[in-house]
Copies of this chain bind each other. A is one copy, B any other.
Amino acid sequence: MSRPVVEFWYEFASTYSWLSVMRIEPLAEAAGVELVWKPFLLGPVFMALGWNDSPFNIYPPKGRYMWRDLERLAAKHHLPFRKPSGFPRNSVLAARVALVGVGEGWVAPFSRAVMNANFAEDRDIGQREVIADILTAQGLDAEAVIARALADANKLALRCQTERAAELGLFGAPSFRVGDELFWGNDRLEDALDWARGVRPL
């Protein structure tokens, strides 16, 4: 019997996506759920909602709260955390590379390394050198991977994936899809995995 599938939609600049990227693999494994990693860009999705920046920057009380919430959640999940000196960081190259990684089987460790660079090491993941460093540390040929990431077909694939996110009704990240059910936010990760393995409220 095939395993149930969860689509995991995430954005490298997104704080709550960071939490889910770091947490999801062992939880999915324990639930017997297969993950489909769906890196995408929130920027165009936010633009369609009328936001030209992160809502955490547009609405300062939400932003202040979010950073404190993140500190508490990092402690709760035992994740190293340092508030990035820039937010949100440019995540286009990271997402393009991640999409290559989906096809080549290394998207999960690469995504964790990028998230860790952004949210624990305060490195600028928008810089090509930072992404190259991360790829090299993963044992990959950084320049060759980046060349594949910057190929027109891959750039188009990321654009299509981002448009698909909006079509599916996504409005933030992380989001989880199980069939037609949408779950939004790191707070719903466990619920999405439960849903995938058939756990329903009585």
Contacts and interface: CB of A to CB of B under 8 A. Distances in A.
Interface of A: 49, 59, 61-62, 64-65, 68-69, 72, 75-78, 169-171, 181-185, 187-188, 191, 200-202
B184 A187 contact: no
B187 A65 contact: no
A-B pairs with lowest CB-CB distance, top 8:
A75-B201, A61-B171, A76-B201, A187-B187, A61-B169, A62-B171, A49-B59, A65-B184
Q: Tell me the interface secondary structure of chain A in the complex.
A: mixed
A94 to B, nearest CB: 25
Nearest to A183: B69
Given A65-B184, A68-B182, A184-B65, A200 B169 contact: no
Given A182-B65, A187-B187, A171 B59 contact: yes
B65 A169 contact: yes
Contacts of A77: 201
Contact of A78 (B65, B170, B188, B201): B201
A182 B191 CA distance: 24
Contact of A169 (B64, B184, B191): B64
A35 to B, nearest CB: 21
Nearest to A180: B68
A76 B202 CA distance: 7
B171 A65 contact: yes
Contacts of A65: 169, 171, 182, 184
